[in-house]
Structure 1
């Protein structure tokens, strides 16, 4: 895990200057919304242990969160996307570019801000495991929205948010404890070493061939070790692409801790098309 943290630290620190500019940037989000992360329920094992000790296992209450909700034109109900940002917080690619794109395809988009209400600047020195429960809190929030089709909600994450995405839909993990379930998952350049590869829902992983923050080899190893249980998992590798290849804010590239973060127009376009196709296959036109 230390190696994963080291990889994330570099990219996060390189992004922090951009994160600080968000307040001045126009947002595509129609509204700022408030909701809570999913309460952390005790596992059956924890419940049994508590009962044997004459106690009752308790749930950990949800944490108040902020989100940015964008709806497409029309009345719905729309399919929807829960989007998770990277370790440096909500950047323009998360808050503007992808919501604009996805809403133009007919999806409602809820970008989850996991940091502001917790008073966190970044998590590039460590991983925030609670982000899995942030995702499910957002899912519950959207499932109660009359403009959203609760049967068609996807989870999509970038970098550290991609790691949380894989953890959230891993077969037999947190998903088994949740009332509401995601339909599909999309992870942009996650570090795949955190996941077994067995997923509860169809999952698309998109990564650059030259990514040295989230090495493609880890994803190939994950794919090779899959047991065959669960849902299909698709790994798309983009030739010549590095970390954050879809984010135009890194158009000139950034060097951080000996690693490269760089936009790649060709890979961005191909991945956008791949995501669109994946969602259409899952949800229809």
Structure 2
């Protein structure tokens, strides 16, 4: 896999965030926007490109953001990135988070699923953030504090599934927070879709208000997750 590293000025050690892209691959706007934003908040950022070295262009047309067996590879990409970051002198390995978008959000939830792959890993994330994941793919039991952000009008990964998941959670593991944004559709935080469009039968559209509020929620969530 390829990765793109951004760090704040100074010696650190800094908290760090691993970022996973969606089923369309790594958009430069996502890489730039979140690398700059997280770095300005004081985080080292490693944006993972899971597709280019595998010769994959996109996986969106295989079903509901379906990476298929690639999801397992992407989970291990996340932990490989964590292992890499943990060896850097300017990273605090005790303050690391995983963030994913769409299919990357599904991979994020899989990576921190209670009793899943995380139990096999020597190094573990301390928090997770999933933008517009498919909540029907998980039971909501997470090993670390986790934030899910989704649009009320999302017709690709419906908010309804996330609300149902929250209602049916066993309560085991760590806290899970769900933020639903009114009037927002799939990919509402992606500047690449400032002009709304149809993709694979679904509406994707940037929403400035939801993007700004969700970023604020992520900022607060990460500060709280690393404050202990």
What TM-score do you get using the length of structure 2 for normalisation? 0.94
- In the TM superposition, what is the alpha-carbon distance from 1:282 to its structure 2 partner? 1.4
Unaligned runs of 5+ residues in structure 2 are none
- In the TM superposition, what is the alpha-carbon distance from 1:199 to its structure 2 partner? 0.2
CA distance in 1, matches of 2:172, 2:45: 30
2:84 to 141, 155, 158: 141
CA contact (8 A) 2:100 2:106 kept: yes
Report the 3-state secondary structure (helix = DSSP H, G, I; strand = E; otherwise coil) of the residue aligned with 2:4. strand
Matching residue of 1:121:
57
| Residue 218 of structure 2 is aligned to residue 275 of structure 1 | yes
Show the 5 A alignment for 1:175-254. 175-254=118-197
| Residues 112 and 230 of structure 1: CA distance in aligned 2, closer, same or farther (over 3 Å) | same
| Residue 9 of structure 2 is aligned to residue 70 of structure 1 | no
Matching residue of 1:90:
26
Report the 3-state secondary structure (helix = DSSP H, G, I; strand = E; otherwise coil) of the residue aligned with 1:103. helix
CA contact (8 A) 1:66 1:112 kept: yes
Show the 5 A alignment for 1:146-165. 146-165=89-108
Larger Cα-atom Rg: 1
Q: After superposition, what is the alpha-carbon deviation per residue over 1:160-219, rounded to whole angstroms, capped at 9, x for unaligned?
A: 000000000000000000000000000000001111100000000000000001000111
Matching residue of 1:28:
none
CA contact (8 A) 1:156 1:165 kept: yes
What TM-score do you get using the length of structure 1 for normalisation? 0.76
Matching residue of 1:173:
116
Instruction: State the aligned residue count.
Output: 221
Q: After superposition, what is the alpha-carbon deviation per residue over 1:89-131, rounded to whole angstroms, capped at 9, x for unaligned?
A: 1102321000000000000000011011111111222312210
CA contact (8 A) 1:83 1:94 kept: no
- In the TM superposition, what is the alpha-carbon distance from 1:159 to its structure 2 partner? 0.2
Cα RMSD after superposing both structures: 1.2
- In the TM superposition, what is the alpha-carbon distance from 1:222 to its structure 2 partner? 1.0
- In the TM superposition, what is the alpha-carbon distance from 1:258 to its structure 2 partner? 3.6
CA distance in 2, matches of 1:236, 1:131: 24
CA distance in 1, matches of 2:38, 2:131: 15
Unaligned runs of 5+ residues in structure 1 are 1-64
CA distance in 2, matches of 1:256, 1:115: 19
